[in-house]
């Protein structure tokens, strides 16, 4: 099967538009397609007008009109055939030529082709482009890696600064308080409050003595009622009045005022 070179400009400006109606032009186009299906190329056969009408899905009257006008304007030749009729497309092999451009234009195209750079120079240009591309990629990778290292260094510096913050450091007196406190939760908050409080050695002793008394109270025997150390420090609970459980020797509760 062959293909048809169909030049739009030639088709749009050909005399076929004045000679044939749109339906007849379409039928003629179908004829050229049928002539390209099998050998001998450039012609096809049909048994009857009705069979051709069914094959092309085209009304019979349009096929009859197309045959008459195309023969009149020397576009096709219809001759009797054993199976019916043979339709030969005039100048069909001109459509199949390598080119239908005029000779001066063909020579101009040859001149353009001759002016093109040689393959070797093209290959050299492609190699240079590849080298430039690789260089650009390396530079981008270097910039990315350096920026990535800078980000890591900045991150490490930030972590060091955070570790050196006052609230990140644990004073020795706070360590003693934390070790003695029975409920160890929210250590960071407790340490911040301890540093904000800045207790003197006398106040540290007072806090630790009060803590021991609170640990003996009835409320602190149940762990869920023991306040968080941060809450205990924030509310200055070492100054609270502690109520002991009623003993069998005394009729009323003993109160200890710190």
Q: What is the pLDDT of residue 59?
A: 93
Mean pLDDT of 139-158: 62
Q: Please, what are the domains in the chain?
A: 8-95 (1.10.10.10), 168-257 (no CATH)
The pLDDT tens digits for 215-227 are 888 888 888 889 9
Q: What is the pLDDT of residue 209?
A: 92
Using 50, 70 and 90 to split pLDDT, how confident is the model at 82? confident
Q: Which residue has the higher pLDDT, 128 or 67?
A: 67
The lowest-confidence range among 105-114, 128-137, 245-254 is 245-254
Q: What is the pLDDT of residue 212?
A: 92
Q: Which residues, at least 6 apart from 196, have a Cβ–Cβ distance to it below 8 Å?
A: none
Q: What is the pLDDT of residue 116?
A: 53
**Spatial separation of the C-alpha atoms in residues 227 and 237, rounded to whole Å:** 10
Q: What is the pLDDT of residue 143?
A: 61
Q: Whose CA is closest to 213, among 176, 182, 189?
A: 182
Q: What is the pLDDT of residue 252?
A: 47
- Average predicted confidence (pLDDT) for the chain: 76
Q: What is the pLDDT of residue 119?
A: 52
What is the percent of the chain with per-residue pLDDT over 90, rounded to a whole number? 20
Residues in the chain: 258
Q: What is the pLDDT of residue 113?
A: 54
Q: Whose CA is closest to 75, among 40, 31, 37?
A: 31
Q: In terms of DSSP bridges, do strands 84-89 and 255-257 run parallel, antiparallel, or are they unpaired?
A: unpaired
pLDDT of residue 12 exceeding 90, the answer is no
Q: Which residue has the higher pLDDT, 10 or 84?
A: 84
pLDDT of residue 150 exceeding 80, the answer is no
Output the CA–CA distances (angstroms, integers) from residue 19 to 4, 56, 66, 92, in the order listed.
Answer: 22, 21, 10, 19
Using 50, 70 and 90 to split pLDDT, how confident is the model at 231? very high
The pLDDT tens digits for 164-215 are 555 556 788 899 999 999 988 889 998 999 998 889 999 999 999 999 999 8
pLDDT of residue 250 exceeding 50, the answer is no
């Amino acid at each position: 099967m062959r293909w048809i070179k169909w030049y739009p400009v030639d088709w749009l400006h050909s005399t076929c538009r004045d000679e044939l109606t749109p339906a007849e032009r379409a039928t003629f186009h179908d004829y050229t397609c049928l002539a390209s299906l099998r050998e001998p190329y450039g012609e096809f056969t049909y048994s009857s007008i009705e069979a051709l009408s069914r094959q092309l899905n085209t009304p019979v009257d349009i096929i009859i009109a197309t045959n008459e006008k195309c023969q009149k304007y020397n576009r096709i030749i219809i001759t009797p055939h054993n199976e019916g009729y043979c339709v030969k497309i005039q100048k069909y092999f001109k459509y199949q030529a390598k080119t239908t451009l005029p000779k001066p234009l063909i020579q101009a195209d040859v001149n353009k082709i001759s002016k093109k750079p040689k393959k070797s120079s093209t290959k050299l240009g492609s190699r240079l482009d590849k080298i430039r591309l690789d260089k650009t990629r390396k530079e981008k990778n270097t910039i990315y890696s350096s920026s990535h290292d800078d980000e890591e260094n900045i991150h490490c510096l930030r972590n060091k600064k955070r570790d050196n913050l006052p609230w990140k450091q644990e004073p020795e007196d706070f360590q003693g308080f934390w070790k003695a406190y029975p409920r160890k939760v929210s250590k960071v908050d407790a340490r911040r409050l301890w540093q904000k409080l800045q207790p003197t050695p006398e106040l540290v002793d007072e806090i630790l003595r009060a803590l021991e008394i609170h640990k003996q109270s009835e409320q602190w025997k149940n762990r869920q009622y023991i306040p968080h150390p941060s809450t205990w420090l924030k509310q200055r609970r070492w100054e609270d009045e502690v109520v002991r459980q009623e003993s069998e020797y005394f009729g009323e509760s003993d109160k200890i005022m710190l």
